Amino acid sequence: MTITITVFERSPDGGKGLARDMRVRWALEEVGQPYDVRLVSFKAMKEPAHLALHPFGQIPTYEEGDLALFESGAIVLHIAERHAGLLPNDASARARAITWMFAALTTMEQPIVDREVTKLLERNETWYEQRLSAVEERVRKRLGELSSRLGDADWLDGTFSAGDLEMVSVLLRLKSSGMLSEYPNLSAYVARGEARPAYKRAFDAQLAVFTAASTG
């Protein structure tokens, strides 16, 4: 059955792979499932046809036959549960990998998003510097804790899993901040994720969409 995902017609990140369709693309590449993309504009995202797929008018969505999903984390979990390659077979190891997915999307991503919101929307506030420093302290706290847990392991719990896919994707949001380089094992962890052939295929595919939109 054909899988179709929705992605930005023109990603505001300029093709850096930071939009959340990248996580879904990466998961599909890891498990070797081909997929189609449907490009949507910001305007189309808020129109009834897209809202029927995504109640919040966002990307990505995922369609496969009569199944329609939204929320990138749920989509990655769906892919990982149905195809080999992203979750271990052992029930306990599988539960731990899913735990890491949640940890990435909640405990780690929340302060990272707070930092982005502060930098993007609160720059002109009198309390901006104070707020930024408080938010960055929270990000560093989480990075330090994650760094301690990862230690010198390649991946969070044995072999590469959907938990690593989500964690690397979340950490990539910090790439331009310089904060990751304070934690050499986390920088190396992210680099290992980016070096995976499936990641590269997904990255190139999303970049091709951006490039076509810019030159077309």
72 sits near ligand GTB (criterion: CB under 6 A): yes
Name the 3-class secondary structure at 5.
strand
Q: Which stretch binds ligand GTB (CB under 6 A): 10-18, 31-39, 163-171, 187-195?
A: 10-18
Distance CA 152, CA 184 (A): 10
- The CB density around residue 67, as the number of other CB atoms within 10 Å, is 10
Q: Could you tell me how many residues of this chain bind ligand GTB (CB under 6 A)?
A: 14
18 sits near ligand GTB (criterion: CB under 6 A): yes
Comparing C-alpha atoms, which of 73, 67, 2 is closest to residue 38?
A: 2
Comparing C-alpha atoms, which of 30, 42, 35, 45 is closest to residue 5?
A: 35
209 sits near ligand GTB (criterion: CB under 6 A): no
Beta carbon nearer to ligand GTB, 9 or 30: 9
Find the distance separating the first CA and the last CA of the chain, reported in whole Å: 30
Tell me, what DSSP letter sits at residue 64? E
Query: Restricting to residues 26-65, which ones interact with ligand GTB according to CB under 6 A?
Result: 42, 45, 57-60
What's the min distance (Å) between Cβ of 184 and ligand GTB?
25
Comparing C-alpha atoms, which of 132, 165, 142, 183 is closest to residue 17?
A: 165
The single residue among 3, 5, 19, 162 that binds ligand GTB, judged by CB under 6 A, is: 19
What's the min distance (Å) between Cβ of 39 and ligand GTB?
13
Q: Which stretches of the chain bind ligand GTB, using CB under 6 A? A: 12-13, 18-20, 42, 45, 57-60, 71-73
